[in-house]
Structure 1
Amino acid sequence: MIESKITEMATMQPQIVSKETIKPSSPTPDHLRTHKLSLLDQLTPHIYLPMLLFYPSEGCDSPSQIADKSHRLKTSLSETLSRYYPFAGRLADRATIDCNDEGIEFYEAQINCQLSEILKKPEPETLDLFYPNGILYNDSYKASLVVFQITHFNCGGMAIAMCMLHKIADGAAVSSFLSDWATMARQSGEEVSPKFISASLSPPNDQPDMPDTKLECENCVTRRYVFDASKLAELKAMSVDSGVPNPTRVEVVTTLIFKCATAASTSNLVSSRPSVLLQPVNLRPRMSPPLPENSVGNFSWFFSIMAKDESDTDLPRLVGELKKGMAQFSEKYAKNLTANECYSLICEAIKEAKKVLNKNENINMFKCSSLCRYPFNQMNFGWGKPIWVGFSSSKVKNTFHLTDARGGGIEAWVTLGEQDMAVFERDEELLAFASLNPSAFYADCDFVV
């Protein structure tokens, strides 16, 4: 079975047909040649964020039409980079980007299969093949800050894979960049004006001495689970019946995965150990005045909830704790605080977290990042919206990534250690609400794939 899977993946390996460097369409002015990274940018690990958009054939994709699409993508990307000028630069040191217009790497590939062959069972390891080789989860890669690979299918469909250095953008900023690129490609005339404001946000004088954040890459397994809207409604009803008001779909999915992952991680232990869930929150709307929605960089921070043992993992209780944590976070960071005052609070939180971790070295840490409600499934470059938005496997243990699914559902990309995943994927409570890697086809799809 393993040999057949390896053979199948080899036949689906995209073949690179070209590599280019896309530079900004106009040079960056001298006064913008140095871009300062914010405190949050500097605290972010050197990791490339993945995003994978699949587009079906329009039904009559001739070689000239495919070439025209590629040309439109490259030309509009060059124009977009003139607005997102730091993205075309290089890291000068930990705190600055040299906006030298060196450009970004752009690969084009061909794959000898139909788009439908990928979408019928989109295994994370198969999706990894659509990304430029050697960049995902490789913290030694120090060149282009953004890398794209465009892959053409035999049917005329297309995949657009993006790797973006997390130090320059969080999920909201990635969404803004892709939206602006799509706007430029459509030549819609809409204004594209990202805000690079981190230089105006001075880190406090007493910021903690933080070493470079290193990735804890291990032998991990990533699984894709899909929660349909009807199952989300059942999960939300369970919390409401237990007295939790207005639980969101993200809250119920996050806590269910946390509960099941915690159980898996402690299944082989003689005694339980505490588990902590870190939940990132977008700070942009919570500052005073609110930062522009299109502020580029990292403007997210965390709050956490803890389960000391199995008795703390009752699902409605966890949902309630998550809602409480979010309310406290919002209150703490929404009291007419400026961005710099928020930074001071973040520095205090870092110091406190270091104290807690020093006292409790055996804590099991999990992190959930939600990209739900960001318009990745709306990225229209001139030939319609994506038929599906994918992700990748991961080498960072105990992480969950949530994305929107059709019809109000949620896709969860869960990464755990190999032993933990073997237990997690058999969890009956999880499987009562989630489907393991179902087809990415939908009944209302009438595209050529």
Structure 2
Amino acid sequence: MASPRLDLISTKIIKPSSPTPLIHRIQKLSIFDELNPCSNYMSFGMFFPKQYNPTLSVDPTHISTILENSLSRALTSFYPLAGTIRDDGLHVECNDVGAKFLQAKIDCPMSEINHSSSEAEDLVFPKDLPWTPSKENLVVVQLNHFNCGGIAISVCVSHKIVDGSSMANFINHWSTMARNPSASIPSFQFVGGSMRAEQQ
């Protein structure tokens, strides 16, 4: 089989559904996060085959709308992810610049992708797209539509502000918002900077 082709459909910025309070505008990084260069990032890919459920829409626009709206609500709780890294590399400015959200179309069915090889990784984390996190956008999401109706969601977050546990918490929180748009938006405390101060 020929290598599947990925075509970029759209790129947009998703901002938090509510502005971050000024009291949370500047977040100090922990001493461990300070040591991480901005170029390091954590990535997570999820594949979802087409669901043969007549009550569920597989329309790409509908799926995208759900994910964009729920991501916006999730960023309200995880507001540092919608910010930028200050030039000193020691602080996150929670200025609600948002997350980058890409949509792409893959011209093959999901069943033809070898998930145990680098082929799947190259599709959902394409090397030729400028989508890895930067100081300006700390989160990048790519929604991939296979021509069979299945989707893959790839998430990339700057390692400067997340570890494995916080990455999992963010994705779990985002999925909760996607499943239940009326779910309340919880408030989290980000205390990495205070832990850093106590160590000094």
Whichever residue aligns with residue 157 of structure 1, its letter is G
For 1:50 and 1:15, locate their aligned partners in 2 and report how far apart those are by CA, in whole Å. 20
Stretches of structure 2 that go unaligned for 5 or more consecutive residues are none
Match of 2:186, SS? coil
Measure how far apart 1:48 and its partner are.
Answer: 1.3
Q: Match for residue 30 of structure 2?
A: 38
For 2:115 and 2:48, locate their aligned partners in 1 and report how far apart those are by CA, in whole Å. 16
Question: Whose helix proportion is higher, 1 or 2?
Answer: 1
Whichever residue aligns with residue 173 of structure 1, its letter is S
For 1:18 and 1:135, locate their aligned partners in 2 and report how far apart those are by CA, in whole Å. 12
Measure how far apart 1:30 and its partner are.
Answer: 1.2
Identify which of structures 1 and 2 has the higher relative contact order when contacts are C-alpha pairs closer than 8 Å and 6+ apart. 2
For 2:158 and 2:135, locate their aligned partners in 1 and report how far apart those are by CA, in whole Å. 10
Match of 1:142, SS? coil
Alignment of 1:357-368 (within 5 A): none
For 1:201 and 1:183, locate their aligned partners in 2 and report how far apart those are by CA, in whole Å. 29
Measure how far apart 1:66 and its partner are.
Answer: 2.9
Q: Match for residue 8 of structure 2?
A: 16
Measure how far apart 1:101 and its partner are.
Answer: 0.7
Alignment of 1:158-173 (within 5 A): 158-173=151-166
**Cα separation, partners in 2 of 1:107 and 1:34, compared to 1, 3 Å:** same
Q: Match for residue 65 of structure 1?
A: 59
- 2:93 pairs, out of 95, 98, 122, with 98
**Cα separation, partners in 2 of 1:186 and 1:146, compared to 1, 3 Å:** same
Which ranges of 4 or more aligned residues in structure 1 deviate by more than 6 Å? 61-64
Stretches of structure 1 that go unaligned for 5 or more consecutive residues are 204-339, 345-449
Alignment of 1:16-415 (within 5 A): 16-46=8-38, 47-59=40-52, 65-92=59-86, 93-118=88-113, 120-131=114-125, 133-136=129-132, 141-187=134-180, 189=183, 192-203=186-197, 340=198, 343=199
For 1:162 and 1:43, locate their aligned partners in 2 and report how far apart those are by CA, in whole Å. 22
Equivalenced residues, count: 194
**Cα separation, partners in 2 of 1:110 and 1:60, compared to 1, 3 Å:** farther
For 2:105 and 2:196, locate their aligned partners in 1 and report how far apart those are by CA, in whole Å. 46
Q: Match for residue 268 of structure 1?
A: none
Identity of aligned residues (%): 38
Measure how far apart 1:155 and its partner are.
Answer: 1.0
Q: Deviations over 1:340-382 (max 9, x none)?
A: 4xx47xxxxxxxxxxxxxxxxxxxxxxxxxxxxxxxxxxxxxx
**Cα separation, partners in 2 of 1:100 and 1:71, compared to 1, 3 Å:** same
Q: Deviations over 1:56-87 (max 9, x none)?
A: 10126898733211101000100111111111
Measure how far apart 1:29 and its partner are.
Answer: 1.1
Measure how far apart 1:191 and its partner are.
Answer: 6.0
Whichever residue aligns with residue 100 of structure 2, its letter is E
Q: Deviations over 1:395-426 (max 9, x none)?
A: xxxxxxxxxxxxxxxxxxxxxxxxxxxxxxxx
For 1:135 and 1:23, locate their aligned partners in 2 and report how far apart those are by CA, in whole Å. 17
Q: CA RMSD in A?
A: 2.4
**Cα separation, partners in 2 of 1:39 and 1:128, compared to 1, 3 Å:** same
Match of 2:160, SS? helix
For 1:191 and 1:31, locate their aligned partners in 2 and report how far apart those are by CA, in whole Å. 18
Whichever residue aligns with residue 77 of structure 1, its letter is L
**TM-score normalised by length of structure 2:** 0.87
Q: Match for residue 413 of structure 1?
A: none
Q: Quick check: 1:183–1:190 contact (8 Å CA) kept in 2?
A: no
Measure how far apart 1:190 and its partner are.
Answer: 6.3
**Which one has the largest radius of gyration?**
1
Measure how far apart 1:171 and its partner are.
Answer: 0.2
